[in-house]
């Protein structure tokens, strides 16, 4: 769990953590990003996690496949 900053929405802080993990390679491309695991790790409601994953999806960092889950998007290596 992390110490949440009370001045920022929790979903935004969770998105920041996942974004950093994607950037540093902790979550490589095509890795499943489990909402259930994030919910347990951060001790938040599923709706909070869904808001975070939706934001990351909008940024193109996650790709969601219905019935399968959200995965780290392949990086664009063309620069």
Which class is 10-72 in CATH? mainly alpha
Domain residue ranges in the chain: 10-72
β-pairing verdict for 32-33 and 69-72: antiparallel
pLDDT at residue 76 is higher than 80: no
State both tokens at 36.
Answer: 């259930």
Encode pLDDT of 10-53 as tens digits. 999 999 999 999 999 999 999 999 999 999 999 999 999 999 99
Helix (H/G/I), strand (E/B), else coil: 8: coil
Q: What sign does the dihedral 67-68-72-75 (CA atoms) show? A: negative
- Indicate whether this model's pTM tops 0.85: yes
């Amino acid at each position: 769990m992390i110490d949440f900053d009370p001045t920022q929405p929790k979903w935004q802080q969770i998105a920041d953590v996942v974004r950093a993990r994607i950037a540093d390679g902790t979550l490589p491309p095509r890795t499943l990003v489990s909402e259930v695991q994030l919910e347990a790790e951060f001790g938040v409601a599923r709706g909070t996690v869904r808001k975070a994953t939706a934001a990351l999806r909008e940024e193109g960092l996650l790709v969601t496949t219905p019935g399968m889950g959200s995965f780290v998007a392949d990086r664009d290596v063309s620069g």
